[in-house]
Amino acid sequence: MDLLRDPDRTPDDLPAAAGHLRRVLVTGAEGLIGGIVRRHLADRYDLSALTLAPADFPSHVADIADIDAIRPAFAGVDAVVHMAGTPHVSSSWEEVLHSNIVGTRNVLEAAREAGVGCVVLASSNHAVGMYEIEAAPAIYADDDPRVIDEWAEVRPDSDYGAGKVFAEALGRMYADRFGMRVVCLRIGSVVADDDPTGASVLATAAWMPWLTDADRRARLRATWLSHRDCAELIRCALDADVAFAIVYGVSDNPRRFWSLDSAQDLLGFVPHDRAPG
Amino acid sequence: MDLLRDPDRTPDDLPAAAGHLRRVLVTGAEGLIGGIVRRHLADRYDLSALTLAPADFPSHVADIADIDAIRPAFAGVDAVVHMAGTPHVSSSWEEVLHSNIVGTRNVLEAAREAGVGCVVLASSNHAVGMYEIEAAPAIYADDDPRVIDEWAEVRPDSDYGAGKVFAEALGRMYADRFGMRVVCLRIGSVVADDDPTGASVLATAAWMPWLTDADRRARLRATWLSHRDCAELIRCALDADVAFAIVYGVSDNPRRFWSLDSAQDLLGFVPHDRAPG
């Protein structure tokens, strides 16, 4: 097979073997998941940080929409955990365009230019969110057999979701063309207090205003991803021997309706936490 | 099922029944396919035009990257044939971002705002171009049984291809959320002289520099879409009773390696022309 690849890169340039201490740049390091990575994975990797504003820890400060400004952060880096961008499904088109479309392209391109071998991207279930919208709230029941997996045809529910489809597709292109390992994580509900029954329930699924409070409680228990499982998922993605993957990240919740088959088969991810039924 | 839809739109707002004379706006009307639409479909529809620069026919002149500038062109329109944007797989990221990502979003959004019921979009085989790159040139042989269909996992070969994945996904979102009919056409090789054995051969597949001239001749005979078939495909897309579709458009070429099943089943498209074997 003749693969169209960057002539400057060969398979020999692939990253160090899984498990080696590696220099990992975290974009959006000031965010909720960025903080989880800093707290849980600092012993395993040599972490550096990219943040939009000065933080209370050392970081490169730059807007990911400005590729010239972010380039220095990628020098000497082995892998990138790309969590920067707007995390809100209700984000305006302008926010999605700036932070998630242009931003993700710039992160992939800066990584390629710097010879970074691996990028782990924040994607989202909103890339296929219409399935849930059509199936809610029945799909939140613990005896509902329906599961959405990574092979479902994309059906974004929002500009935000369409931006995530773009990020996954562009990630695939960087994997196919440039031999970069790219793992796209459709990250579940990571909440600040790490409590699937806590105060975050009322902010759950604001894009489905017809849901009752009971529906919202069921939804968060279905989609919850604990901080510990989130960190483990990112570790698995960094260490996995896989050229490209799209996987769901969710704890082992009885009401779960996203498949964990790819996360387990491709990355070896096994969740340790479980929301109440 | 509770579908998340625009409260101002209902299924009753769907466009007039197929076959009725309808007001159709053509974006990129000055381009190759825009010209084909103007020549072949002016008797069937009441056509209007949006062009980037003044043309030798009446048109709204505006850059599709400027939503305020294009809005007036959508007033009173029943359907849009969106062909504006860069057609080159080698386009820079900046061109793709401006013309194909922002431009297509603006066309869909301006159409939604104006209550337009149907948008036919130019997509591209480059949304999944890596399959061809891996299989070329063997896949161009007339006895090669491999066919790529619309259900293949997206594997763009370029920024251009990733932009087309975004356009398809966003089109799906506008169909799902706003009840707009959206048909995405992965348009084959439409060449100015309409000759699958003509001078365009040497410009074919420039993104695969390792192909021989014989390979390029075979490729164009495989992927050719005649002007007449292109116009018929667009007519079928405008008239079809389908909520959303992604289809290939290619003539009935013996070397064809893209599926026409969806074009035929969903749109009723039957190609009339056939490149030499």
Residue-wise pLDDT tens digits, A114-123: 999 999 999 9
pLDDT score recorded for residue A202: 85
Contact across the interface for B170 and A157, Cβ inside 8 Å: no
As given in the structure block, the two tokens for residue B86 are 């860069």
pLDDT score recorded for residue B202: 85
Residue pair B57/B49 in contact (Cβ under 8 Å)? The answer is yes
Q: Is residue B272 part of a domain?
A: no
How far is residue B190's CA from residue B213's CA, in Å, rounded to a whole number? 19
Q: Does A69 touch chain B (CB under 8 A)?
A: no
Q: Is residue A239 part of a domain?
A: yes
Burial call B205-243: b when 16+ CB within 10 Å, e when fewer: bebbeebeeebbbbbbbbbbbbbebbbbbbbbbbbbebb
CB pairs under 8 A between A and B: 109
Q: Over pLDDT 90: what percentage of chain A?
A: 90
Q: Mutation target for A interface from B106, B176, B182, B212: give the one with most A CBs within 10 A.
A: B176
Residue-wise pLDDT tens digits, B99-109: 999 999 999 99
Residue-wise pLDDT tens digits, A45-103: 999 999 999 999 999 999 999 999 999 999 999 999 999 999 999 999 999 999 999 99
Nearest CA in chain B to A106: B93
Q: Does B94 touch chain A (CB under 8 A)?
A: no
pLDDT score recorded for residue B21: 61
Q: Is B45 in the active site?
A: no
pLDDT of A40 over the 70 cut: yes
Q: Mutation target for A interface from B165, B178, B262, B266: give the one with most A CBs within 10 A.
A: B165
Q: Does B55 touch chain A (CB under 8 A)?
A: no
pLDDT score recorded for residue A98: 98
Residue pair A25/A59 in contact (Cβ under 8 Å)? The answer is no
How far is residue A79's CA from residue A83's CA, in Å, rounded to a whole number? 13
Cβ contacts (< 8 Å) between A165 and chain B: which residues? Answer: 165-166, 169
Q: Is residue A13 part of a domain?
A: no
**With a CB-CB cutoff of 8 Å, which residues 3-22 of chain B face chain A?**
3-4
3-state SS assignment for residue A149: coil
Interacting residues of A41 by C-beta distance below 8 A, sequence separation 6+: A24, A47, A231, A234, A235
Residue pair B119/B82 in contact (Cβ under 8 Å)? The answer is yes
pLDDT score recorded for residue B67: 98
3-state SS assignment for residue B27: strand
Cβ contacts (< 8 Å) between A184 and chain B: which residues? Answer: none
Work out the pLDDT band at A203, boundaries 50, 70, 90: confident
Contact across the interface for B133 and A170, Cβ inside 8 Å: no
pLDDT score recorded for residue B203: 86
Work out the pLDDT band at A39, boundaries 50, 70, 90: very high
- Cα of first residue to Cα of last residue in chain A, in angstroms, is 49
pLDDT of A136 over the 60 cut: yes
Residue pair B49/B67 in contact (Cβ under 8 Å)? The answer is no
How far is residue A228's CA from residue A240's CA, in Å, rounded to a whole number? 18
As given in the structure block, the two tokens for residue A220 are 């968060």
Residue pair B267/B236 in contact (Cβ under 8 Å)? The answer is yes
pLDDT score recorded for residue A219: 97
The DSSP code sequence of B259-272 is --HHHHHHH-----
Residue pair B246/B262 in contact (Cβ under 8 Å)? The answer is yes
Residue in B45, B140, B160, B174 annotated catalytic: B160
Sheet with B60-61, side-by-side order of all strands: B60-61, B46-51, B23-27, B79-82, B118-123, B181-187, B244-249
Enumerate the β-bridge partners of residue A244.
A182
DSSP state of A11: G
How far is residue A98's CA from residue B204's CA, in Å, rounded to a whole number? 34
Q: Is residue B257 part of a domain?
A: yes
Question: What residues make up the domain containing A33?
Answer: 18-267
Picking from B133, B154, B170, the nearest residue to A162 by CB comes out as B170
Chain A closest CA to B140's CA: distance in Å?
A: 14
Angle, CA A50 vertex, CA A47 and CA A56 arms, to 5°: 80
Interacting residues of B229 by C-beta distance below 8 A, sequence separation 6+: B249, B250, B251, B271, B272, B273
How far is residue B251's CA from residue B231's CA, in Å, rounded to a whole number? 11
Picking from A93, A102, A156, the nearest residue to B97 by CB comes out as A102
Phi/psi of residue A182, nearest 5 degrees: -130, 125
Chain A closest CA to B155's CA: distance in Å?
A: 6
CA distances from A66 to A29, A70, B105 (A): 17, 7, 22
How far is residue A220's CA from residue A199's CA, in Å, rounded to a whole number? 11
Count of helix runs (H) and strand runs (E) in chain A:
9, 7
Q: Does A182 touch chain B (CB under 8 A)?
A: no
Picking from B93, B105, B169, the nearest residue to A156 by CB comes out as B169
> Model ipTM?
0.92
pLDDT averaged over every residue in chain A: 92
Cβ contacts (< 8 Å) between A177 and chain B: which residues? Answer: 130, 157
Q: Is residue A8 part of a domain?
A: no
Contact across the interface for A1 and B134, Cβ inside 8 Å: yes
Chain B closest CA to A48's CA: distance in Å?
A: 28
Work out the pLDDT band at A8, boundaries 50, 70, 90: very low
3-state SS assignment for residue B40: helix
3-state SS assignment for residue A208: coil
Q: Mutation target for B interface from A132, A173, A176: give the one with most B CBs within 10 A.
A: A173
Q: For residue A186, which amino acid is it? A: R
Q: Is residue B185 part of a domain?
A: yes
pLDDT score recorded for residue B13: 42
Residue pair B171/B181 in contact (Cβ under 8 Å)? The answer is no
The DSSP code sequence of A13-63 is GPPPPTTS--EEEEETTTSHHHHHHHHHHTTTSEEEEEESS--SS--EE--
Work out the pLDDT band at A21, boundaries 50, 70, 90: low
Cβ contacts (< 8 Å) between B153 and chain A: which residues? Answer: 151
Q: Does A1 touch chain B (CB under 8 A)?
A: yes
Chain A closest CA to B41's CA: distance in Å?
A: 32
Q: Is residue B1 part of a domain?
A: no
The residue whose two tokens read 């035009």 is B49
Under-50 pLDDT residues of chain B: 1-19
pLDDT score recorded for residue A14: 39
Question: What's the 3-state SS for A153-173?
Answer: CCCCCCHHHHHHHHHHHHHHH
CATH code, domain carrying B108: 3.40.50.720
Contact across the interface for A157 and B173, Cβ inside 8 Å: yes
Cβ contacts (< 8 Å) between B136 and chain A: which residues? Answer: 2
The DSSP code sequence of A120-144 is EEEE-GGGGHHHHHHHTTGGGSTT-
| Tally of structural domains, chain A | 1
Enumerate the β-bridge partners of residue B246.
B184
Question: Reduced to 3 DSSP states, what percent helix, strand and coil does chain B have, rounded to the nearest 5?
Answer: 40, 15, 45
pLDDT score recorded for residue B20: 60
Residue-wise pLDDT tens digits, A228-237: 999 999 999 9
Nearest CA in chain B to A137: B2
Q: For residue B157, which amino acid is it? A: D
Chain B closest CA to A192's CA: distance in Å?
A: 27
CA distances from A197 to A221, B26, B241 (A): 7, 52, 45
pLDDT score recorded for residue A15: 44
From the CB of residue B13, how many other CB atoms can be counted at a distance below 10 Å? 13
Q: Mutation target for A interface from B91, B140, B172, B246: give the one with most A CBs within 10 A.
A: B172
Q: Is residue A219 part of a domain?
A: yes
